Chains A and B, each alone.
Chain A
Amino acid sequence: MATDRIVNVSRRQFLKVGLAAGTGLTLGVYLPTLRSAGAAAGPGKAGGAMFKAGTFEPNAFVSIGADNSVTVIAKHLEMGQGTYTGLATLVAEELDAAWSQITVKPAPADANRYNNLLWGSTQGTGGSTAIANSFVQMRKAGAAAREMLVGAAAEQWGVSTSDVTVRDGIVRHQATERSVTFGELAERAGRQPVPVEPFLKDPSEFRLIGSHVPRKDSRDKTHGTAIFTQDIQLPGMLTALVAHPPRFGATVKSLDASATKRVKGVTDVVQIPTGVAVLAKDFWSAKRGRDVLRVDWDESKAFTLGTDEILTEYRALSKNPGAVARKEGDTDQAMARAARVIEADYVFPYLAHAALEPMNCVIKVSGDGCEVWNGEQFQTPDQMAVANVLGLKPEHVKINMLYAGGSFGRRANPQSDYVVEAANIVKAIQGKAPVKLVWTREDDMRAGYYRPMYFHRMKAGLDDAGDIIAWQHRIVGQSIIAGTAFEASLAQDGIDQTSVEGAANVPYAVPNITVDLHSPKLPVPVQWWRSVGSTHTAFAVETFIDELAVAARRDPVVLRRTLLKNHPRHRGVVGLAAEKSRWGETLPPNRGRGIAVHESFNSYVAQVADVSVDKDGSYSVDRVVVAVDCGIAVNPDIIRAQMEGGLGFGLSAALSSQITLNAGRVVQSNFHDYTVLRMSEMPDVEVHIVQSTESPTGVGEPATPVIAPAVANALAAATGKRFYELPLLVTG
């Protein structure tokens, strides 16, 4: 069996990660106490007591009040993916709590207690790791609390712990028909010894895991009461808008703020490293002030290429071999003896995350510390970055975690860009007032940190029988990790693993494979975008294999299943999606059905898309059947939601989203020209989850990369035309 050179690579593996490919999760689980050592931590009170006295706090993740409330402390950002519900499900399962008594509270930034177990000493959310890294840790947190409650009840009743049962938040002694609530036991439970190795349930005993458990954030988000960064109002707070340079790399040459300062409500105009900030008592005043600000920009060192010129350079680069990410057999020799050689070039645009809540951050300096209000994916790196700007110790930066109005990777910026900008503004006004930095949609759209533009060149050789004997895949595009703190951990032999994931580990059994990479350096800021490298590699691999199937007169499902002989989980989802979609049935004219399969973040997703194409070239995606294998399904309904939403997010990029540059300026500015999926374009979605006993893996990202190739393959089936560019335009 071929050994994949690149296996399961992404942010989940950065820093000192202990996840060996293919071996499942082995986590060093440690249950820190709620009050960390040295928790006092400055005026911001990072760490420290979160609950009132008399509360049972067995560890840093669970707290049980005398009022019978159970609070789960979530170390991960809730940005829509459902992690507050998922983490709480794990705790409640082992605690045998009633779901209704559980509330979820965000953890403070604290790498000692709340690190992502797959990310070494960093606290953060990304790479679809929240449930994967928390599965054992959160269950142990719940199990430890349960054992202490049982011990307390046994002690109170003078019975053996083995005769005490717990169900739905009630602790019982069957023989004497006595029962007591968690709240009534809280104080006594706090005096029980903390179990070192709490006993975990056998999966056959799960009552919540695998069942329908309603989201914990639905009510607030349905009634307008959920609080996002945008909603924070502090006494005396100023709202800041920033004039950013028109091109990447430009700087302020001179500034005339006289008109701005005359605008009612404007209080300050300050120059900061990223531009000029206008502060006012409210958003509208700051916006009016910025509208009349006159900045002369020094563009002598600015980036001035357009998308077309970049593409020309990328095409030229693709003529030459790049750094080798995978090499098996002798591709050149096999290509030379092939009966047929098929080649294809693929083009992928820059993409903005365009979360509906544009980037923003609230920051307040007080005494010798500061407080930040934000929904962010990189709590402790952001904490460090703010501390550096303000000359503080990280533990003196208290981060109040809020919901994020979407993120899709954007709020995991390796430079902490918008958070640092907010810190620079509050520094520039000497901390005289709390500051809410607000980016307008246009600021957000034009700030860079895009999914990079890529060019792929693919070439395959088929023998006389139509079997694929050679596979060559060359990728050209900027490295996301170059120059960041992640470079050391996410680059192997000079190759940015996030550029080749999904390509270097192509699962198809082909005897001669070469995958190589060019990582040109451009000053356009780039960043991970939901499902990262797979956003482009899955499209190239999955449409190319489809093209080869047609060339070899093989059924796309049959060919995939044949070539996936060493990858049973890929095979499984292909088979399930094919079966549920009634693959192979005859379709009416102008309809097409296409399949794609892809693994990302250790989860396996196959999608079958049905499309209708009109004579004028317009088309609709009518139905998508999804099969997903993500190990044990912790919350099946949230998995379904992430499949629906994840493919919907990918469908925006498949249908119409793109960022282009004209002489270095970003062309798009808002949702009228950076178009995204709307209700009328959303297909019906049917989700099927593979029953599994494997450790659970993430679902936030893995549906996203699969939809574009599934739709492109469906369009090809309907029209006979192949598609090599995103977004997919049938006409032209």
Chain B
Amino acid sequence: MIQLNINDQLYELDVEKDMPLLWAIRDVLGFTGTKYGCGIAQCGACTVHMDGVPTRSCVTPVGVTQNKKITTIEGLNSKTSRAVQAAWERLDVVQCGYCQSGQIMAATALLEAQPDPSDEQINAAMSGNICRCATYVRIRAGIREASRALV
């Protein structure tokens, strides 16, 4: 049995230790906000927070996540995440939306670590998250707007 702490809730899962956290979250627990895009930590659609750190759940074996606090898009509820999501909605950042959970997880982690990031810091924090609709202009604007609300 694997014990997981997801969104402040403890779960016991009967899965192999090498199952990636992504599939435990999606297929076993049914939280579908976290997406599959590449399976090799290239696109960032599967980003969750593990002890507050943005983590690619598609390459993180569920076995190494025991005793860690995992947050998915469904569990976001901080001042920062609310500012990010409010900015995303106000600017209509999304297009197809498939990557956006990962983008929001990455942006929230960035602003929690650095509430007033430079362009370079935004690029560094966000360039692991692919958006095929190329909503990058608005993601950047959304981060800046959330930052203004927080600082």
Contact = CB atoms under 8 A, between A and B. Distances in A.
Interface of A: 79-82, 214-215, 217-228, 230-231, 233, 239, 264, 282-284, 354-358, 403-408, 438, 440-441, 637-638, 641, 644-649, 651-652, 670-672, 676-680, 682, 684-685
B137 A221 contact: no
Contacts of A644: 134-135, 137-138
B118 to A, nearest CB: 13
B101 A224 contact: yes
B42 A670 contact: yes
Interface of B: 15-16, 19-20, 23, 26-28, 30, 32-40, 42-43, 45, 72-74, 85, 88-89, 92-101, 104, 122-124, 126-140
Contact of B88 (A222, A264, A357, A648): A222
Contacts of B139: 679
B96 A403 contact: yes
A225 B72 CA distance: 12
A405 B35 contact: yes
A356 B96 contact: yes
B97 A405 contact: yes
Contacts, number: 176
A239 B138 CA distance: 35
Given A81-B95, A223-B73, A356-B37, A679 B133 contact: no
B133 A406 contact: yes
A59 to B, nearest CB: 28
A81 B30 CA distance: 28
B134 A672 contact: no
B104 to A, nearest CB: 7
| Chain B binding surface, main DSSP class | loop
B110 to A, nearest CB: 11
B114 to A, nearest CB: 15
Nearest to A226: B97
Contacts of A225: 33
Contacts of A408: 132
The 7 closest A-B pairs by CB, nearest first: A224-B33, A648-B134, A405-B98, A221-B97, A80-B96, A80-B95, A224-B73
A676 B15 CA distance: 34
A441 B97 contact: no
A676 B134 CA distance: 10
Name which of A217, A218, A355, A408 has the most chain B CB atoms within 10 A of its CB. A218
Contact of A404 (B37, B85, B96, B135): B96
A638 B104 CA distance: 21
Contacts of A641: 92, 95, 135, 138
A645 B33 contact: no
A404 B99 CA distance: 12
Contacts of B122: 679
B90 to A, nearest CB: 8
Contacts of B101: 224
21 contacts: A214-B89, A215-B92, A218-B93, A222-B94, A223-B74, A223-B85, A224-B72, A224-B101, A226-B97, A356-B43, A356-B45, A357-B98, A408-B132, A438-B36, A441-B40, A652-B132, A670-B39, A678-B129, A679-B123, A679-B136, A679-B140
Given A222-B89, A408-B132, A670-B39, 20 more contacts: A215-B94, A221-B94, A222-B88, A223-B74, A224-B33, A230-B32, A356-B132, A357-B35, A357-B98, A405-B98, A406-B96, A406-B133, A441-B43, A638-B92, A648-B136, A651-B134, A652-B134, A678-B130, A679-B140, A682-B136
Contacts of B72: 224
Contact of A230 (B35, B127, B128): B35
Contacts of A282: 23, 27-28
Contact of A684 (B124, B127, B137): B137
Contact of A284 (B19, B35, B43): B19
Contact of B95 (A223, A441, A645, A679): A645
B34 A224 contact: yes
A552 B89 CA distance: 50
A356 B124 CA distance: 21
Nearest to A407: B96
Contacts of B30: 233
Contact of B94 (A217, A357, A441): A217
Given A356-B37, A405-B98, A676 B132 contact: yes
Nearest to B90: A214
